[in-house]
Structure 1
């Protein structure tokens, strides 16, 4: 399984970006990325731009997962999810509404 990690760009040279963590990442799929932007990275490549709030939520969730995997508590890492009901992606909601859901 591949997990996306939000990283903030501190330098860009062509299609290569350097992050605050010191990682060198490929920016080929995010040519609009600029220094200071948050990008969602998978396997050394930026796949999407993130707003700072979204980046922090993802980082908190990943920190919570790391804590649980180490035998600790997730704390409030998922507080933004606990306050709302789960929702289906639009294509699954449409299938459910049409009676096509598999049980």
Structure 2
């Protein structure tokens, strides 16, 4: 199974911007790699993108990134045997939105 993970653009690897250097911290480990930016086009340094198998697939906002990071932390917690439902997927614990009936 492949997962897309949020990574931050920290440099451009070629003048066209089609390849970027992206990085993220996994725990205390800094992970840095090259990402193909052809689907998104050149992105500014500091932009967060979802990367899967070396391909940047979409730009992510700070809110989206927080939700993804929480989900990744939950998966790691399950693997470590320390999952706590109260700590993870907080966005799912909120009351559902109320949809008014336009009658």
**Separation in 2, partners of 1:29, 1:36:** 18
**Separation in 2, partners of 1:26, 1:84:** 39
Scaled by the length of structure 2, the TM-score of the pair is: 0.72
- Greater per-residue strand proportion: 2
Moved more, 60-69 or 70-79: 70-79
Aligned to 1:35: 45
**Separation in 1, partners of 2:6, 2:57:** 10
Aligned to 1:78: 89
Moved more, 35-44 or 20-29: 20-29
State the superposition RMSD in angstroms.
Answer: 1.9
Greater RCO, 1 or 2 (C-alpha within 8 Å, sep 6+): 2
**Separation in 1, partners of 2:43, 2:88:** 27
Aligned to 1:90: none
Scaled by the length of structure 1, the TM-score of the pair is: 0.72
Gaps of 5+ in 1: 86-103
Q: Deviations over 1:45-93 (max 9, x none)?
A: 10000111211210121011111112111452200112144xxxxxxxx
SS at match of 1:8: strand
Gaps of 5+ in 2: 24-30, 97-103
Q: State the Cα distance separating 1:32 from its structure 2 match.
A: 4.6
- Greater per-residue helix proportion: 1
